[in-house]
Amino acid sequence: MIFALFILFTIGVALIVFPVLFSFKFQRRIRTSAVRERRKRKNSDSLKSLILKENNKLSNIKINRLLKVSGHPWGWTAFHVRLAQLLFPLGAAFMIYALYEIKVAMQGSMQFPIIVFVICTVSGYALPLVLLRLIANKRKEMLAAEIVIFSHRLVVCITDKTPLYYAIKRAGRVCKILKPHIDELLIDWMENPRQAIHTFADKIGINEILPVTNTLLASWNAPEDRLIELFQQQIRNIDTMRDFHIKKKIEVSPLRVTFIIMVPFIVAVALVLMPWYKGFIDILSQNI
């Protein structure tokens, strides 16, 4: 009997104590989770403010222009470019030092390749901007080609006496890179056409779009008989600008070809002269 009462007493104490203990543990877990979430939010806000501060620096204006023309590849901003310029040289330096240590462990003591170290470090610093510039130049050529196609189709649509809004919509159907910008232009057109055109030019960010936007600004509320004349003048301006860029590229291309030929030629000459140079150094060391 006493043993049964003891069991019942133990069960009753357990029913009272265990929920209290579990409630304390549960509340602690809530507090810990809230502190963790607050800390994550604070760290996220600090990182966002740091990225925003770096992106708005005056020293990053050229990088922001390249990113705008290149379409922000991989979602990069100026902060990511600067971070890559910091990490790439460090990675190159670490790799060269690790290879040097491995070679020393295998072959014994040797001189540290300081020239290779400097060249690789400087190349690592310049590599992000070089890649960004190549992507920007490639995308700029594609944008310029699509602007010409868009302009010619726009003139065709205007000639068919299509309203300007629907002419822009029809002319943008054949575009790929310009299509998202044209869709945003059409959405903003309903509220404020002039502001929509300025935003359209700013987002594309190349000079080839200026004849199109200038014509749109002059013709969005112009009479129909003036539209065809304005857009034909726009096509002439775009063709003139493209001819100028093509002539400039033709003038610069011999220099590029010369540079491409000279680099392997210099390397080949250096490889040919290397045995004679080593022999000359050995003769001098023996005479000394």
| Rounded Cα distance, 168 and 155, in Å | 10
Q: What is the pTM of this model?
A: 0.67
Per-residue pLDDT tens listing for the chain (288 residues): 444 444 555 665 555 545 544 544 444 444 566 667 777 787 777 778 878 888 888 888 889 888 888 888 888 888 889 989 989 998 888 888 888 888 888 877 778 888 888 888 899 999 999 999 999 988 988 888 888 888 888 888 888 888 888 888 988 888 888 899 999 999 998 888 889 999 998 888 888 888 888 888 877 666 666 777 777 777 777 777 777 667 766 766 666 667 677 777 777 777 777 778 777 777 777 765
pLDDT of 132: 92
Smallest CA-to-CA distance from 165 within 206, 136, 124, 197 is with 197
pLDDT of 19: 54
Report the alpha-carbon angle 256-144-182, nearest 5.
150
pLDDT of 268: 79
User: What is the rounded (10 degree) CA torsion for 205, 209, 210, 212?
Assistant: -150
pLDDT of 129: 92
pLDDT of 25: 45
| Rounded Cα distance, 277 and 254, in Å | 33
- The alpha carbon of 271 is separated from its chain's Cα centroid by a whole number of angstroms, namely 38
pLDDT of 127: 92
Q: What is the 3-state secondary structure (H, E, C) of the chain?
A: CHHHHHHHHHHHHHHHHHHHHHHHHHHHHHHHHHHHHHHHHHHHHHHHHHHHHHHCCHHHHHHHHHHHHHCCHHHCCHHHHHHHHHHHHHHHHHHHHHHHHHHHHHHCCCCCCHHHHHHHHHHHHHHHHHHHHHHHHHHHHHHHHHHHHHHHHHHHHHHCCCCHHHHHHHHHHHCCCCHHHHHHHHHHHCCCHHHHHHHHHHHHCCHHHHHHHHHHHHHCCCCHHHHHHHHHHHHHHHHHHHHHHHHHHHHHHHHHHHHHHHHHHHHHHHHHHHHHHHHHHHHHHHHC
pLDDT of 51: 80
